[in-house]
Structure 1
Amino acid sequence: MVVVERVGPAHWARARAIRLRALRDAPDAFWSTIEQEAALDDAVWRQRLERREAVTLIGLVDDADVGMAVGAPHHAQPTDAGLYAMWVAPSARGRGVGEALISAVVDWACAAGHPRLRLDVADANPHAVGLYERMGFAPTGVTYRFPPPRDHIVEHERALDLRS
């Protein structure tokens, strides 16, 4: 069974551990690098989890942390919500963890009054693209290129209308 937990500052070590696992597993799926995130001190991790306008979620299977997602105001349009740091461990993929995390972020975004939920995904990640399509996210036509030296990676924005 999949369980999704909202974590706060007291759980900073769990959030840090799963974030670093995600960056090791899929370094080209995230703007941030493992070197950048590993260098952050404990206070920064706590501060991230103290943000009242955001939610950090960890997905569990058999009491093991196997996924994460963050919901926060969208970086370019703060009235919309953004889905960030989405990741599921390879051993847990296909078990409903991604769907459960996305559903929890959708619930948070609706409760916070956001009209849309946006995310960015690289076309080179067909499994994630498929998951987002199944969950109702549609392309917006907006693209982002990673900063050098990873500027060969292009992400495409997708959005889900929450008003219906």
Structure 2
Amino acid sequence: MAEVGPPLSVRDLTDEDLAWCSWAGTRLHLRQVALELERARRGEVDYLAVCPPSGVPVAIGGVDYQLSPGAGTLWQLSVHPAVRSRGIGTLLIRSAERRILARGSHRAELSVEESNPRARALYERLGYVGCGRQPEAWDAEGPDGVVRRYATMCTLMRKALR
């Protein structure tokens, strides 16, 4: 049974929101999100925020329209740990899919770390199907503040949108 909570809205993430998003990642990650907001201003990506009436984001995530021709690629999806398993991730993904359709594309893609079966189960419940594997890597800031290269194996997933 889903929990009933305050009404949620989905809007574009703003630079001002980043101060409230420390739960989504390290300072390095949030600097990268700030760069993605520049791309959003140029129309290359959408970056969404799910918010309760307070306006403070409880979930964020992006859609990149340049990675795969004819598709929107979902990435950097994150829900505040205190409100997971309440349908907020589903709301974020469905909203991203509507953005993709509004741009005239009919396919959503994403990659999920193979070490994250909970996220993969969500994507599968929402109709995403595995279509391959690939290694991915990015710079990540550790708890000690040192930046290291993080490498992982990901499952590629896609969904036809109607």
- Give the TM-score normalised by structure 2: 0.77
Aligned residues, how many?
Answer: 146
Match of 1:5 in 2: 10
Match of 1:93 in 2: 84
User: Is the Cα–Cα contact under 8 Å of residues 71 and 84 in structure 1 kept in the other structure?
Assistant: yes
SS at match of 1:79: coil
The whole-number CA distance in structure 2 between the counterparts of 1:46 and 1:54 is 8
Q: Considering only aligned residues, what root-mean-square deviation do their CA atoms show, in Å?
A: 2.4
> Structure 2 counterpart of 1:65, which letter?
P
Match of 1:35 in 2: 28
Over 3 Å counting, the alpha-carbon distance change for 1:158 and 1:74 in structure 2 is: farther
- Percent sequence identity over aligned pairs: 22
1:157 maps onto 2:148 in alignment: no
98, 102, 106: which one aligns with 1:115:
106
1:80 maps onto 2:83 in alignment: no
Match of 2:141 in 1: none
1:68 maps onto 2:60 in alignment: yes
> Structure 1 counterpart of 2:10, which letter?
E
Give 1:10-29 correspondences, 5 Å limit: 11-15=14-18, 17-18=20-21, 20-24=22-26
> Structure 1 counterpart of 2:16, which letter?
A
User: Is the Cα–Cα contact under 8 Å of residues 4 and 57 in structure 1 kept in the other structure?
Assistant: no
Over 3 Å counting, the alpha-carbon distance change for 1:4 and 1:83 in structure 2 is: farther
Residues 84-115 of structure 1: CA deviation (Å, up to 9, x unaligned): 11000110101111000000001111111112
Structure 2 gaps, min length 5: 1-5, 139-147
Over 3 Å counting, the alpha-carbon distance change for 1:37 and 1:88 in structure 2 is: closer
The whole-number CA distance in structure 1 between the counterparts of 2:76 and 2:19 is 12
> Structure 1 counterpart of 2:59, which letter?
G
Higher helix share: 1
Structure 1 gaps, min length 5: 25-33
User: Is the Cα–Cα contact under 8 Å of residues 15 and 58 in structure 1 kept in the other structure?
Assistant: no
The whole-number CA distance in structure 2 between the counterparts of 1:55 and 1:36 is 17
Aligned-residue offset at 1:17: 4.3
Moved segments of 4+, more than 3 Å:
none
Give 1:109-148 correspondences, 5 Å limit: 109-146=100-137
SS at match of 2:39: helix
